[in-house]
Structures are given as C-alpha cells and as structure tokens.
Amino acid sequence: MQIQDLPYPDPGVPDARSGPRFLWWLWLNQLGGQLKSLAWGLLHFVSVSALPFCVGLAVQAVVDRSGTRLALTGALLLLCGTGIALGETFLHRAAVTNWITAATRVQQLLARKAAQLGSALTMRVAAGEVVAVSTGDVERIGWFVEAVSRFTAAALTVVVVGAGLLVYQPALGVVVAVGLPVVALAVLPLLPRATRRADVQREKAGRATELASDTVAGLRVLRGIGGEELFLDRYRRASQEVRHAAVRSARMWSLISALQVLLPGLLLIAVVWHGVQLARQGRVTVGELVTVYSAVMILNYPLRHFEEIAMAYSFSRPSARRTAGVLSLERSTATEGNRAPEVPDGDLYDPGTGLLAPAGRLTAVVCGDPDAAGRLAERLGGHPAEPGRSVLLGGVPLDELPLDSARTAVLVQDKDPVLLSGTLRELLDVPASGTVRAADALDAAQCGDVLDALVQGSLGAADPMDARITERGRSLSGGQRQRLALARSLITDPEVLVLDEPTSAVDSHTEARIADGLRRLRSGRTTVVFTSSPLLLDRADRVALVAEGKVVAVGVHRELIVSEPRYRAVVTRETDDELAAADEAALVGARQELEEIEESA
C-alpha cells in the first residue's frame, strides 16, 4: 500500500483483544512495507558500519605503503557512500509510508466503529478519551509500527558488526562482544518506571482534554452564568498536573538517553585502552586498532534505535490498549449480509417505563427530569441501559434488529443536535425514504427566516440551498439551528421519529406553527415528542406523564391539565408551594361540596 492509494478500500477486521495483539495485527497487515523498510535499513546500517573497516584498511595501506590496496579501499568507500545515500533515502521513504499507512488504517477503523456505534460510543467511552484515541494515540501507534523494522535492521547490524569484529580481530572483538549486550540491555530495568510515568502523564492529559472539550461545548452557558473563570481555573490546575507529570516522565527518559551515551562511551574507552596495550605488545596492527575503535564509535548510531523502540513501545502500548478498547465495543446487532433492511412496524413500547406510542400517532411525553427524558429518548433509539430491557417496535426488540434496520426504523433527535459545516444542500442530503421533499420539511419546521439569513450571510449564493453553514452552525441563533435540525430529521422520514425538546429555543408563535407542520407532515407516521410545551402537547394524539421512571398518567392535554396535579406542575411550572396551595384549595372545595350535600339531605 502506497500513500497515493489511501484510504484503504477495507481496513480489515482488527484483533482488538489487547493492545499488543492489536499492534501485532497492524504490523502483519503491512508486512510488505515492513520487509521493504527492513531491506533498506540493512543496506543503510551495514554501509555505515562498514566505513570503519574501510578506514582501517586505508590506514594500514598507508602504513604498508601499498597504493593498490589504498585504491581498492577508496573504491570500497565509494561503494559504502552510495549504499548509505540510497539506504537512508529509501529507508526514510519506506518508514514514513509505513507510519502514515498504519495511522490511516487505525483512523479508518475508528471512523467505522464510530459510525456503527453512533451515540452509543460516547455513552460507553468518555469524550476526552475518544479525542485522545483519534488524535495523539493514532500517531504513537503509527510511530511504533514504523519503528519496528528500523530497530530490527539496527539490531541485525549490531550482531553482524560484533561477529565481524570477533573474526577480524578476536582479541579486541571479545571486549566488544561482551560490552554490546550490556550497552543494549542496560536500560531495560528503567523501562517499567518510565512507562508508568508516561502512562500517568497521558492519563492526566486525557482528563485535561476532556475538561477542555466540555468547557468549550458549554462556553455559552458558562458565560451566561459567569462561570467561565471557575472552569478556567479548573483547566489551569489540570494543565499544571499534566506539566508536572510530563517533567517527571522526561526526567526518566533523559536518564535513559544519558545511559545510552555514557555506556557506549565507556565501552569505547575500554576498547581503546585494551587496544593500546595490545598494540604495544605487537598483537594488533595500527590499522586493526583504528578499525575496531571506529566500529565501536559508529555502533552508537544503530544502538540509539534500542532507545527509540523502547520509547515507541512504552508510548504506544497504552495508546493501543485504548484503541483496542474502543474497537472492541459492539452493538448487540450487526447488519446481516447485504440484504435490504427489514423495518418492522407497529406500536413502540418501552418495558422499562411502560411507555406506549401507538403506530401512526403523535405521542407527547412529559417528564419532569430532563436527564431522565434524555435517557429515555436514547433507549427508544435502541440503546438500552441494561441487557434485556430493549424497546419493542411491533413486538420486536430493537437491539435484536440488524443495524441498518434499527437505524431505518427509529431516528432520535436529541435536544442539542449538531450541524456540520457545508452548504444547506449538503446538510439535508441524508439517508431518506424519498417521500418528504426538502421544501416541505423546511416549511414544516418554519425555516423561512433561516433561509433568508443564510442567503444574506453567504456571498454569491442566490439559492438558499447553496448557502454555507459555518461549523456547528455558530453563525445562526439557537432557534435557527434547532429548526434546521428538525427539517433534516423530517426529510429522513423514519418509521418512528423521536424528538427531544425540538422547540425549546423558539418563540411561542413559531412553536405553534411548527406543531401544526409537524402534525401535518408526520400524519400516519409514529412520532414521539419529549416536551413540556402546552402548544405541542395540545396537538398530540396522546400524552404520557413519566414520573420516577414510570408512566403514571395517560390522556390528552386538556384532560390531564385538570385531573393530574403532577402533570400540571410540570407543564405550568408551578412551584411546590403553589402546588400545595392548589391541593389545599381543592380539598377545601371538596369539603364545602360535601357539607352542602349533607345540608340538602
């Protein structure tokens, strides 16, 4: 796989049982690129390591006054230089290709998993962790997968050079052969501590990222209540914790780096001291001493890759573990082959609360707890909080349906829908039945003034459908964003449409027209609206009151507002004192009626 061929047609099915297994799966899936990198790496490192032998031969040729050997040595140096240039160029090319292709494969796997899980992803994994996995973790994983082949080439070169020195000059080669394993493996006892410190750093960085994302998402609300300084102080403290953890981690890695410089230096001193003694005794020639000295000095270059692979693995291991954790998440259903999704019809029923939404009717749900309403809306969309508590559509559990069928059957629009950047035409280009036209959906959602605002704010766009929407629709008001999101949901025209507070940010006149448009456009289709607005409730075919996790009253708005105090308290926003006073007044009235009956008797 080359960079120009990305993205992958199919990134494959990952081994997400653990972080190391996932890294091994990634490495195997680009085996061709790894072998190519290994071959170029061997050419590069062996050419570099051959330079000391050429220098030693040249020195000895000068000492022996042999012009022929000096010329041959020059030719060998030229050959080594060519090998170094070619090896380094194509090694870098192959390494970058391996890095980018591995990172791209991971990104495609994460994107596919996010599309499969939908809103269930953020229900199971914190938002900050999702951000960390899809950004920094992808780069660290790509780094390790790429570094494996370079490390292998460096390790093989060290073994070859050590063996070559042992054959070339056994007296000095023994010192090198004993010292090289010590130099290469001396940092291993420090790696667990360095890894733990790196893990702490990444954990704190993930918390800081999550705090930052939550703060940015709620910045408008925070400014409204004057709480931005409070959250800014919290982020400062989290940022300082990350900085302290990063300093502690850097100290350990700096110690490892220092040892990787100190130990080869000590080995070099030992080789020179022992070589001088042997040269005085006449057991080695000057050229052999220069060769061994230069070889040990050059070996510092491939030995540095031992430190790099240790760092790459230490940093990528927790990243791979987090990534494997996300990729291992599964819905209880999956699309079965390529057959067309079979969408059941019938009543929508939630066994947890006892909520029933009859087929083809507009059902309104009143819930005093907004968080409980949000959880119930998610459950109606096929995300049960507990196994075996799935919502039934036409008697069929939603979590037993294939993914495509479940998503075609039920659409849930939460209370804070997201508008992606792009043109309005692109925003409304969603999977749909084809029955509802864009113009009808925009009209039902009362988006006329939104279209005018988009045209005025977009240069050179005469057609509102070609007008551009900024990121998350920030150039629009909350009510305008809400109405565009409603129009998008109406175009989809699902079998069941669940709306969570779809008109909370619009005025009452617009809300009344939206209620009429919604009832008209969704005629004959099952619609569930979570709301406490009397305007929407009055137009519903059926109203259900949910209190303490159960449906406690069912009827129509005008009946419930009179007969059910709890319903009246939520819809009219009565306080506890007002509710108690109303109950007392009703009790007094009942007593008076009873007394009048007794007197008349």
- Ranking 99-108, 138-147, 341-350, 518-527 by mean pLDDT, the lowest is 341-350
The most distant pair of C-alpha atoms in the chain lies apart, rounded to whole Å, by 143
The average pLDDT across 399-424 equals 83
H/E stretch holding 552: strand 550-555
Give the tens place of pLDDT for each residue, 162-219: 888 888 888 888 888 888 888 878 877 887 888 788 878 877 887 787 777 666 666 6
The average pLDDT across 541-556 equals 93
Whether pLDDT at 123 is above 80: no
Are 194 and 309 in contact, with CB atoms under 8 Å apart?
Answer: no
Are 552 and 565 in contact, with CB atoms under 8 Å apart?
Answer: no
Give the tens place of pLDDT for each residue, 23-72: 999 999 989 999 999 999 999 998 988 888 788 788 888 888 888 888 99
**How far, in Å, CA of 381 to CA of 530, rounded?**
13
Say what the pLDDT of residue 550 is.
Answer: 92
- Ranking 317-326, 531-540, 558-567, 584-593 by mean pLDDT, the lowest is 584-593
Say what the pLDDT of residue 226 is.
Answer: 64
**How far, in Å, CA of 136 to CA of 156, rounded?**
31
Reading the block at residue 108, the tokens are 């495609």
Say what the pLDDT of residue 356 is.
Answer: 94
Q: At a CB cut-off of 8 Å and minimum separation 6, what does 375 contact? A: 385
Collapse the DSSP code of 393 into the 3-class scheme (helix H, G, I; strand E, B; otherwise coil) and give the result: strand
Collapse the DSSP code of 342 into the 3-class scheme (helix H, G, I; strand E, B; otherwise coil) and give the result: coil
Give the tens place of pLDDT for each residue, 57-67: 888 888 888 88
Whether pLDDT at 590 is above 60: no
Eight-state DSSP code of residue 61: H
Say what the pLDDT of residue 55 is.
Answer: 81
Q: Which comes out higher in pLDDT, residue 568 or 332?
A: 568
Whether pLDDT at 324 is above 60: yes
**How far, in Å, CA of 287 to CA of 55, rounded?**
8
The average pLDDT across 457-482 equals 79
> Which long-range contacts (C-beta less than 8 Å, at least 24 apart) are formed by 12-20?
12/105, 12/109, 14/109, 14/324, 14/327, 16/323, 16/324, 16/325, 16/327, 16/328, 17/324, 17/328, 18/321, 18/324, 19/317, 19/318, 19/319, 19/320, 19/321, 19/322, 19/323, 19/324, 20/317, 20/320
Reading the block at residue 474, the tokens are 């920030």
- Ranking 84-88, 377-381, 492-496 by mean pLDDT, the lowest is 377-381
Q: Which comes out higher in pLDDT, residue 547 or 302?
A: 547
% pLDDT > 70, the chain: 87
Say what the pLDDT of residue 339 is.
Answer: 46
Say what the pLDDT of residue 178 is.
Answer: 84
Domain 348-563: CATH class, spelled out: alpha beta
What topology is assigned to 3-327 in CATH? Answer: ABC transporter transmembrane region fold (1.20.1560)
Say what the pLDDT of residue 338 is.
Answer: 43
In the chain, residues under CATH classification 3.40.50.300 are 348-563
% pLDDT > 90, the chain: 30
In the chain, residues under CATH classification 1.20.1560.10 are 3-327
Say what the pLDDT of residue 337 is.
Answer: 45
Say what the pLDDT of residue 595 is.
Answer: 63
Collapse the DSSP code of 468 into the 3-class scheme (helix H, G, I; strand E, B; otherwise coil) and give the result: strand
Query: What are the φ/ψ torsions at residue 411 (nearest 5 degrees)?
Result: -120, 130
The average pLDDT across 425-436 equals 88
Say what the pLDDT of residue 470 is.
Answer: 80
Whether pLDDT at 13 is above 80: yes
- Residue ranges of the alpha helices (H) in 348-402? 370-380
Which residues on neighbouring strands pair with residue 526, listed in sequence order? 496
Are 517 and 341 in contact, with CB atoms under 8 Å apart?
Answer: no
Whole-prediction pTM: 0.66
Are 125 and 329 in contact, with CB atoms under 8 Å apart?
Answer: yes
**How far, in Å, CA of 246 to CA of 226, rounded?**
32
Whether pLDDT at 583 is above 60: no
Are 144 and 313 in contact, with CB atoms under 8 Å apart?
Answer: yes
> Beta-carbon neighbour count of residue 327 at 10 Å?
19
**How far, in Å, CA of 537 to CA of 365, rounded?**
8
Say what the pLDDT of residue 522 is.
Answer: 93
Are 10 and 131 in contact, with CB atoms under 8 Å apart?
Answer: no
Q: How far is CA 162 from the centre of its chain?
A: 45
DSSP of 243-266: HHHHHHHHHHHHHHHHHHHHHHHH
Q: At a CB cut-off of 8 Å and minimum separation 6, what does 307 contact? A: 187, 256, 257, 260
Please choose, from the candidates 362, 405, 366, the residue with its C-alpha nearest in 3D space to the C-alpha of residue 382: 405
H/E stretch holding 78: helix 67-117
End-to-end CA distance of the chain: 97
Q: Which comes out higher in pLDDT, residue 411 or 198?
A: 411
> Beta-carbon neighbour count of residue 40 at 10 Å?
23
Query: What are the φ/ψ torsions at residue 56 (nearest 5 degrees)?
Result: -60, -40
Q: Considering the chain, what is the average pLDDT of its residues?
A: 83
476: left (phi over 0), alpha (psi -120 to 50) or beta: beta
> Which long-range contacts (C-beta less than 8 Å, at least 24 apart) are formed by 11-14?
11/105, 11/108, 11/109, 11/112, 12/105, 12/109, 14/109, 14/324, 14/327
